[in-house]
Amino acid sequence: MTPFETTIPLLPDGPILVAVSGGADSVALLNILHRKADKQKHPLIVAHFQHGIRGREAEEDALSVAEMAERLGCPFFRGDGDVPAQAVKAKESLEMTARRLRHTFLQKTASGNGCVAIATGHTADDQIETLFLRLARGTSLRGAGGMHIISPGIDGDVPIIRPLLEVRHKQLCDWLGAESIPWREDASNADCSIQRNRVRNKLIPEFEAVFGDSAAESLVRSMALFRSDNDYLDHLAERELTNIKLSAMHLDKLPVPVFQRVVASLLYNSEIPPQFVTLNVIERVKQLCAGRERGTVEIPLGDGWILRRLGDELQFMPSPIECTEVDEVKFVFTLPAENTEFGPVNFFGSEKPLVLQIAHNRGFMKPARTSPLLLPQFCSVSSSLTGTQLTLRTPLEGDRISPAGSGITQKLSDIFINLKIPRHERKNIPVISSGESRIIWLPGYAVDESAAVRETDKSVYMRLDAWQGADSAI
């Protein structure tokens, strides 16, 4: 598909907000829409969000977009944000915070100008990258289908359209070059320490080299089929939801793909926070629904919510309030430059106090994936943390970790739910944090990205175990 074979989805009359970063894809989008759109029905408005990440280079991107908008006779709106500061405040990754702030700016600008759609420059390459990333961590049919050309607005949001979703990035670059239209290159796109960039710069070229130039286009066509199949299953689930009966035996008889969609909709429509609507939770609901009536049975859903089965009837409800200990167990220390042993430290629920051993030059030790309740536990962290004040403590509400190499940030509460650790046992889990809330090591699970050992780093070995000595403790 060539750029000028793209089509604008059918929209009511009104302005279209074009999100332009300054890169090739969004610059091509703006120029193609400027040539193809009916300006009487769909006048174009240009929007650019400056993330506050790349200094002067990012400022030059913003200026180039403003100049292009003026040259094309389009109104221009600029948004500015301090993504690094907001990421720290919200305990999120830079990528997640940038996406959230950018989305808020685009929606506010579009709504304020009466726009009927927001146009973004997503391409077939973005689809392929997303597919590989989702397959690597496990995904559903919906996830494998990727993005739709149009995403309807939810809860009053302006719809998002993606006219270039079946066009390759190289096609757009070739077209811009032929038309002598300049664009900006983001130097960070070459940084292969970022997972998406590794997929873009290494995996996809190798995939095409092995399977041929048409292999990527075949993936895009397959994703379109996935979306069609998923839309049909969604339709079956919606039909089921119109006359929904919270009967365990009835739900259990539904085909698994329909069951999963029905239960997900029920959870989303309850007051349960959406981050708790996971495949693991839906599988627990499936197990609860299976079999004959068996009195009263409950399962935890997350964030203090439970699903109760009373005979054949299902009830979503908050769990009964528990009496919990509020004391915080905390031991503050500075990561030393020499081999050291800290402790013993008393911990909730532990039969014995804990001892933390620090050793240098022991070689890299990847943390074992076990239960955080088991001892001993060990890991390696970057020696760049030497001299940093750390805290051995119990988990606190809102704690998050970005497991090294994962590219995502997770709440510890979500991790504990996925690991099926009962709520009353979570206060027995030791974690090590840097500052107030950054978890650098969740024993039995992962080391945080900020503490990961890089190729040029030396490592520091940390071992947490039960103390075998006398009865006194720090």
Which tens digits make up the pLDDT trace of 204-217? 999 999 999 899 99
253 pLDDT tier (thresholds 50, 70, 90): very high
CA distance 400 to 411: 4
Residue 150 or 322, more confident? 150
Residue 348 or 216, more confident? 216
Hey, which residues does 80 pair with through a beta bridge?
50
104 pLDDT tier (thresholds 50, 70, 90): very high
Under CATH, what is the fold of the domain 247-318?
3.30.465
Q: What is the pLDDT of residue 472?
A: 35
Q: Does residue 470 carry a pLDDT above 70?
A: no
When the pLDDT of each residue in the chain is averaged and rounded to a whole number, the result is 86
33 pLDDT tier (thresholds 50, 70, 90): very high
CA distance 56 to 282: 47
Long-range pairs of 234-243 with CB within 8 A, sequence gap ≥ 24: 234/261, 236/261, 237/261, 237/262, 237/265, 241/265, 241/266
Residue 2 or 401, more confident? 401
Which one, of 114, 118, 122, lies nearest residue 47 by Cα? 118
Fold matches, 3-218 and 247-318: no
At residue 178, what are phi and psi to the nearest 5 degrees?
-65, -30
Q: What is the pLDDT of residue 469?
A: 56
Q: What is the pLDDT of residue 327?
A: 43
Please give the radius of gyration of the chain, using alpha carbons only, rounded to the nearest integer.
Answer: 26
Domain-wise residue ranges, the chain? 3-218, 247-318, 330-466
Q: Does residue 434 carry a pLDDT above 90?
A: no
Q: What is the mean pLDDT of residues 344-349?
A: 63
Q: Does residue 318 carry a pLDDT above 90?
A: no
Q: Does residue 326 carry a pLDDT above 50?
A: no
Positive/negative CA dihedral, 126, 131, 136, 137: positive
- Look up the pTM and report it: 0.62
Q: What is the mean pLDDT of residues 395-417?
A: 87
CA distance 428 to 431: 10
Residue 5 or 261, more confident? 261
Q: Does residue 3 carry a pLDDT above 80?
A: no
Q: What is the pLDDT of residue 408?
A: 86
Give the class (CATH, top level) of 3-218. Answer: alpha beta
How many other C-beta atoms can be found within 10 angstroms of the C-beta atom of residue 90?
Answer: 14
- Residues 6 or more apart whose Cβ sits within 8 Å of residue 415: 401, 442, 445
Q: Does residue 343 carry a pLDDT above 90?
A: no
Q: What is the mean pLDDT of residues 377-403?
A: 88
| Residue 454 in tokens | 């890089």
Q: What is the pLDDT of residue 171?
A: 93
| Highest mean pLDDT: which range of 114-123, 384-393, 421-430 | 114-123
Cα angle for residues 414, 420, 421 (degrees, 5° grid): 85
Q: What is the pLDDT of residue 321?
A: 43
Residue 467 or 451, more confident? 451
Q: Does residue 348 carry a pLDDT above 60?
A: no
Displacement of CA 96 from its chain's centroid (Å): 7
Which one, of 24, 19, 27, lies nearest residue 51 by Cα? 19
Q: What is the mean pLDDT of residues 138-142?
A: 86
Q: What is the mean pLDDT of residues 244-266?
A: 91
Query: Worst-scoring range by mean pLDDT, 90-99, 296-305, 339-348, 384-393?
Result: 339-348
Q: Does residue 320 carry a pLDDT above 70?
A: no
Q: What is the mean pLDDT of residues 26-42?
A: 93
